Amino acid sequence: MPELRRDPVVGRWVIISTERARRPSDFPPREVRRRGGPCVFCAGQEENTPPEVWALRQGGHDNGTGWQVRVVPNKFPALRIEGELEPAGEGLYDRMNGVGAHEVIIEAPEHDASLERLSVEHLAGVLRAFQARMVDLAQDPRLDYVMVFKNHGEPAGASLEHPHSQLIATPIVPSMVADELAGGLQHFRIKQRCIWCDIVRQERHGQARLVCQDGGFMAVAPFAPRFPFETWILPVTHRSSFPDTTAVELFALARVVGHVLRRMAAVLNDPPYNLMLHSAPLRTPALQHFHWHIEIIPKLTNAAGFEWGTGFFINPTPPEEAAAHLRDERGAS
């Protein structure tokens, strides 16, 4: 059983993932590992994954072919869906069972597909999978948060080539989201405004960090980015919870996500990247002080001793320059 443990000084939780327990000799040399045999995420290999929990399909039957997007439990989950949390103390320390969910969103049946080259309809289907899983997992009262994320390319943490995203549902609201909620609430209490709405207004007015706008969504290089070419995508009007996005809005969002990823691929030579979806915690009512958003960080630099020691990041590319490179004079379509 994996275990959740809390650092007693700063309160940071970590997952000790015994499913993936590694001895010293198991840490691989730093080169691409190719799995032997056929890819289990490809069409026709459905029986080699755990049974699907959601699928977008035009024909066929559950766990057969005919799907466009397919969600399956991770075979090597960081957290497990079975069991009770059983929080316990050990002197100074706090731990609980590693209860949660870890799922894989297979974005397309073809091994050599790529998120940014999918049709808008298909990419909107991937986003719909995110939504559907968040809505379903919200029914489990043990779970407080769902983080949807994508690791593209080995340097960004991907261990399988087939295009896929993941989600991990946790019994705790993660510290970065908690920090965003706290910062947003502090701003709201003083100004009676959502801070991300203020960011949207300032960036639309200033334009220097704007990457694109389309159908109620905008992509922007944040004022204080941790990483070169870090880009945020957010709804222009206030919305705290991603699952509340309408079907029409999902299409516009798919256009913006696809556009940003294609621009990154063109400008940065198909970089490895991480994509993270920050939505409100599960089962919260609409929040006036939180605004859902997507963060995309191309993996161009490595966090090193200074970053791990301080939480400060050194970014060699001003966001105004990054946005200028990512902007496409031809617009977002």
Taking CB under 8 A as the criterion, the residue among 108, 177, 212, 260 binding a second copy is 177
Q: Least distance in Å: CB of 6 to a second copy?
A: 6
Say whether residue 24 binds a second copy (CB under 8 A).
yes
Q: Which residues pair with 112 in a beta bridge?
A: none
* Cβ neighbours of 172 (radius 10 Å): 17
Region of residue 248 (left: phi > 0; alpha: psi -120 to 50; beta: else): alpha
Residue number with CB closer to a second copy (43 or 195):
195
Q: Least distance in Å: CB of 179 to a second copy?
A: 5
Lay out the site mask for a second copy across 129-148 (x = CB under 8 A, - = otherwise).
Answer: ----------------x-x-
Of the listed 102, 152, 162, 164, which one is catalytic?
164
Q: How many residues bind a second copy (CB under 8 A)?
A: 93
Q: How far apart are CA 330 and CA 205, in angstroms?
A: 20
User: Which residue stretch of 12-20, 105-113, 117-125, 133-141 sits at the interface with a second copy (rule: CB under 8 A)?
Assistant: 12-20
293 is catalytic: no
Q: How far is CA 4 from CA 212, 324, 332, in A?
A: 40, 42, 42
Say whether residue 58 binds a second copy (CB under 8 A).
no
* Cβ neighbours of 90 (radius 10 Å): 8
Which residues in the 237-276 window bind a second copy by CB under 8 A?
A: 267-269, 271, 274-276
Q: What is the DSSP letter of 311?
A: S
Which residues in the 189-208 window bind a second copy by CB under 8 A?
A: 195-196, 198-199, 202, 206
Q: Least distance in Å: CB of 41 to a second copy?
A: 17
Say whether residue 89 binds a second copy (CB under 8 A).
no
Question: And the tokens for 280?
Answer: 């409100």
Q: What is the DSSP letter of 329?
A: T
Q: Which helix (H) or strand (E) holds 15?
A: strand 13-16
Handedness of CA 295, 296, 299, 300 (dihedral sign): negative
Q: Which residues have CB under 8 Å from 44's CB, separation 6+?
A: 65
Q: Which long-range contacts (CB under 8 A, 24 or more apart) does 205-208 make?
A: 208/320, 208/323
Taking CB under 8 A as the criterion, the residue among 1, 22, 204, 247 binding a second copy is 22
Say whether residue 176 binds a second copy (CB under 8 A).
yes
User: Which residue stretch of 41-49, 121-129, 225-233, 236-244 sits at the interface with a second copy (rule: CB under 8 A)?
Assistant: 225-233
Taking CB under 8 A as the criterion, the residue among 180, 220, 252, 323 binding a second copy is 180
Taking CB under 8 A as the criterion, the residue among 60, 75, 306, 331 binding a second copy is 306
For strands 217-220 and 210-214, give the pairing.
antiparallel
Taking CB under 8 A as the criterion, the residue among 36, 59, 141, 305 binding a second copy is 305
Residue number with CB closer to a second copy (5 or 57):
5
Say whether residue 312 binds a second copy (CB under 8 A).
yes
Q: Which residues pair with 80 in a beta bridge?
A: 99
* Cβ neighbours of 61 (radius 10 Å): 9
Say whether residue 85 binds a second copy (CB under 8 A).
no
Nearest-5° Cα angle at 124, 121 to 129: 130
Taking CB under 8 A as the criterion, the residue among 64, 73, 155, 215 binding a second copy is 155
Which residues in the 26-55 window bind a second copy by CB under 8 A?
A: 27, 30
Say whether residue 78 binds a second copy (CB under 8 A).
yes
Q: Which residues pair with 89 in a beta bridge?
A: 94
Catalytic residue numbers? 164
